[in-house]
Amino acid sequence: MSASTIPTGSITGLVLAGGRGQRMGGADKGLQMLHGTPLAAHVLARLAPQVGALAISANRNREAYAALGAPWHASILGDTLPDFPGPLAGLLAGLLAARTEWLLTAPCDSPWLPADLAARLGNAALAQRADIVTATTTNAEGVVSLHPVFALVRTSLAGDLAAFLEAGERKVRAWYARHTAAEVAFADEHAFYNINSLQELAELERA
């Protein structure tokens, strides 16, 4: 393994499944089925080879998520803050629980995330001496999209994030901007596609 690569064992993978699922009518996104498998299980299977340990951020149906995560010995983490304050709360729970130097996050509704996500974000973290690295894609019209919840974050930032949230802040990009951050461009937009509605899910089932 080259010195420019973060070892797999130094990364904990976190599946973000702690939201309200408002765009799915309140349904728990990660437990919705795609081709006979819950969305969160698709994400776990994609992350598992890239990390040394796995965790799931879940505030509802914790027993169901524990069963999903059991094949990978994934721990189940609830928000430390009340009232579903957003993805940063799930990130904080992951940063506090991880026993590794890095945490790699992905949303529970992204079943095609890149198989080289950890490697490419990790390479950028080392090359650019960044504490946070996120993914971007560019569409056919040349518009660049940032995918902020696909991120590699140094776990030593937990205290700063806790203070940020305690101050009432909630915006992911605003917190990233406080730190040395880098971005990695990925060619495949489809890999970052996230399923936002039951209708989209039904259409994918029929495809």
pLDDT tens string, the chain, 207 residues long: the values are 445 789 999 999 999 997 765 565 678 999 999 999 999 999 999 999 999 999 999 999 999 999 999 999 999 998 877 766 789 999 999 999 999 999 999 999 999 999 999 999 999 999 999 999 999 999 989 999 999 999 999 999 999 999 999 999 999 999 999 999 999 999 999 999 988 777 787 777 765
> What's the domain range around 12?
8-206
**2 lies in some domain:** no
CATH number assigned to the domain comprising residue 97: 3.90.550.10
**94 lies in some domain:** yes
pLDDT at position 2: 45
**79 lies in some domain:** yes
Report the distance separating Cα 59 and Cα 79, nearest Å.
7
pLDDT at position 202: 77
**1 lies in some domain:** no
> b or e along 163-186 (b: 16 or more beta carbons within 10 Å of the residue's beta carbon)?
ebbeeeeeebeebbeeeebbbbeb
Q: What is the pTM of this model?
A: 0.93
- Supply 191's token pair: 């890999």
**3 lies in some domain:** no
pLDDT at position 157: 98
**64 lies in some domain:** yes
**147: phi then psi, degrees, rounded to nearest 5:** -115, 80
**58 lies in some domain:** yes
pLDDT at position 46: 97
Q: How many domains is the chain built from?
A: 1
**38: phi then psi, degrees, rounded to nearest 5:** -60, 145
How many angstroms separate the Cα of 69 from the Cα of each of 66, 74, 134?
5, 5, 24
**131 lies in some domain:** yes
pLDDT at position 80: 79
